[in-house]
Structure 1
Amino acid sequence: MTASGGEALLFWVLAPLMVLAASGLLVVRKAVHAAICVMFVMVGLAILYVAQEAPFLGVVQVVVYTGAVMMLFLFVLMLVGVDAADSLTETIRGQRWIGLLLGAGLAAVLLTVIGRATFRPAVGLEAANAATNPVALARVLFEHYVVAMQVVGVLLVTAALAGLVLTHRRRLGPRVTQRTVARARVAALAEGKPLTPLPAPGVYAQNNAMDTPALGPDGRPLPHSVPRVLRIRGQERSATSVLAAEETLVERRAAREAERAELSAAAGTSGARGPAGTSGTAGEPEPFEPETPGGKEHR
């Protein structure tokens, strides 16, 4: 079987792009870009499968790998974070040289196998797809490669269990519940500790600066509300300055309120007296009195 002109053109267009995308996995820095490269390779494989008269395999490639598996990869990237940088510190001494040697050995083995391989002429898929492509694919997988399929299944299950074991964190202490926290706070109340969490710095104070202690319900500053770093550096404001500033602020507010009250009282008194020789409020209109018919000449 010889490939048609359109099939050959499709191959020579997609194959270099797929190789470039696969090579991009080795050079890209961000995990999202690597996932996009893998998706491009998988979609290219699906197109080639369809061109090779294997539509079922192409659809499975898109639905299972490009759809489900890649969505799983992207979901993991969302959980881990795309900005998380890998550590460049070698945990195993000489691991880079070991990796280079193993990679060179693998490349040598692949080149040797490919160089000695013999390829028979293509016969096409007309005979294999006589009973539809899914049936032909199932016969090949579960008749000739059934052992390989079982081994792959065992490897996948083992990988899933290994992932669960590696991500599981052993709990070193009992589980802390809300009731446990509440009981611990009530027990610490006898030692003079507050029952409720301390307010953040600047709460109920004249400003919300980090160096300003918060004020408690009784109006006293709470030094422990200031971050420990500022307290060690001596950059927190003293309780005396905070109280003095609060008292000054209260006095200013009281003076403003008294001044406003005096202005309001003065405005009300001047409005009640009105102009000289008149009574009532200044500017108040006179009451309307309707004219009687006898007051004017009746026509």
Structure 2
Amino acid sequence: MLTAVAAQASETSTSSGTTGEEVLFWILAPLAVLGALGLVLSRKAVHGALFLAMTMVSLALLFLALEAPFLGVVQIVVYTGAIMMLFLFVIMLVGVDATDSRVETIRGQRGAAALAVLGVLVLLTAVTGRAALPDPIGTDEATPDGNVYAIADLIFGRYVWAFEVVAIVLITAAVGAMALTHKERVTRRLTQRELSERRFRDGDPRNAAGLPVPGVYARHNAVDTPALLPDGTPAESSVPAVLVARGAARPAEEFAEDIGEIGPHGQKPSGLQPQGEGDQPEGDATAGEGGPNDDVPADDGGADDDGARPDQDEADGGDAR
């Protein structure tokens, strides 16, 4: 009686587990295929990298569902977390425009790629159609010592030569990248003091303390807007050189009126004031219009340049004597 109940419970758990794996497979497999198609068909490099990340995460979840936790974790940590982030950083640093992605550098490459894909599909169909796969025996019997031990036994046992060849290829690629990017130095490296002296000697003394930050007194994210110098004039050197080279920098004439309305202390900067309005500083206005200080005589009681009167000097001299 107990044996029959245990067998029925084992069959129920096996069927429910199989059903759960099938549902998970039919959820993740379309996502992986859609991510692969998006990688191939997307026009922007960043979108292609994100689609590839979606495919890798879907494959990692499939590995976890098949009771291969080591492969699932490696898929996420190494491929999605390291390689994909490296791709994104390179794309963001180098910069790839959408117009560059549409340019076909090699003529006829799309047709050749389509023929190659069809040939590979026919080959895979012919090979897998005649393959005879054994019945699954389960992970407990296939890997009694654990999934990680079984993978290590295959890599460093049956496929050790392939592993060594792959390691040599990766090391060669790393050394080649270092050799291509290494800059051979033929002159002496300048010290920090020499670099500072050359900066003051050859550069602009006004920028000795560093270039101003763009977007000062801006009402929005204005990286393409020049900053304002203390005299109110725009600093063209504050805009990044990349934006200037691409023609995306905003000229000073476009925002002159906006900056003329808002100054550092609520006043119009002197460098961008519209001419013809008759605006004058307060000191000049009071001097020209006869302000309250006009009645004060120029002589303050015979004071010398040092601010002391002659009688006071004589008194101090008498005390000293």
Superposed pair shares fold, TM > 0.5: yes
Closer, same or farther in 2 for the Cα pair 1:37/1:87, shift >3 Å?
closer
Amino acid across the alignment from 1:13: I
In structure 2, the residue matched to 1:259 is 288
Matched residue, 2:43 = 29
Displacement of 1:19 in angstroms is 0.9
- Quick one: which amino acid aligns to residue 19 of structure 2? G
Match of 1:99 among 113, 125, 131: 113
Q: Deviations over 1:117-150 (max 9, x none)?
A: 2222212111233212211221122212112212
**Who is 1:138 aligned against?**
152
Q: How does 1:1-299 map to 2 (within 5 A)?
A: 4-81=18-95, 83=97, 85-86=99-100, 88-166=102-180, 168=181, 174=187, 177=190, 179=194, 197=204, 256=285, 258-259=287-288, 262-266=290-294
Instruction: Map Cα deviations across residues 207-265 of structure 1 (whole Å, 9 max, x no partner).
Output: 6699xxxxxxxxxxxxxxxxxxxxxxxxxxxxxxxxxxxxxxxxx879646425x4234
Residues 63 and 69 in structure 2, CA contact (< 8 A), matched pair in contact too: yes
**Aligned pairs, number:** 221
1:96 positional shift: 4.1
Say which one has the larger Rg. 1
How far 1:91 moved relative to its partner? 4.3
Alpha-carbon distance between aligned partners in 2 of 1:139 and 1:19, rounded to the nearest angstrom:
31
Return the alpha-carbon distance in structure 2 between the equivalents of residues 205 and 59 of structure 1: 59
SS at match of 2:140: coil
Relative distance call for 1:39 and 1:99 in structure 2 (3 A) is closer
C-alpha displacement of 1:40:
1.9
Distance change >3 Å, CA 257–CA 47, structure 1 → 2: same
* Structure 1 CA distance for aligned equivalents of residues 29 and 129 of structure 2: 20
Structure 1 residue 153: deviation in Å? 1.6
Q: Which amino acid aligns with 1:8?
A: E
SS at match of 2:152: helix
- Structure 1: state its 5+ residue gaps: 187-194, 211-251, 270-299
Give the AA of the match of 1:158: T
Letter of the aligned partner of 1:134 in structure 2?
Answer: V
Describe the SS at the equivalent of 1:126.
helix
Give the 3-state SS of the residue equivalent to 1:127 in structure 2.
helix
Q: In 2 relative to 1, CA 39–205 (structure 1 residues): closer, same or farther, beyond 3 Å?
A: closer
Indicate the SS of the match to 2:135.
coil
Structure 1-normalised TM-score?
A: 0.57
In structure 2, relative to structure 1, the CA distance for the partners of 1:94 and 1:176 (3 Å cut) is: farther
Q: Which moved more, 1:154-163 or 1:139-148?
A: 154-163
Shift of 1:28: 1.5
* CA contact 2:32–2:58 (8 Å) conserved in 1: yes
For 2:273, the equivalent position in structure 1 comes to none
Query: Residue in 2 aligned with 1:232?
Result: none
3-state DSSP class of the match of 1:131? Answer: coil
Question: Could you tell me the percent identity over the aligned residues?
Answer: 42
Cα distance in 2 between the residues matched to 1:57 and 1:208: 57
Runs of 5+ unmatched residues, structure 2: 1-13, 208-227, 237-279, 298-321
**TM-score w.r.t. structure 2 length?**
0.54
For residues 21 and 179 of structure 2, the distance between their equivalents in structure 1, rounded to whole angstroms, comes to 47
1:171-193 Cα deviation digits (max 9, x unpaired): 6975785848967997xxxxxxx
1: distance between equivalents of 2:197 and 2:74? 54
Separation in structure 2 between the aligned mates of residue 204 and residue 14 of structure 1, nearest angstrom: 59
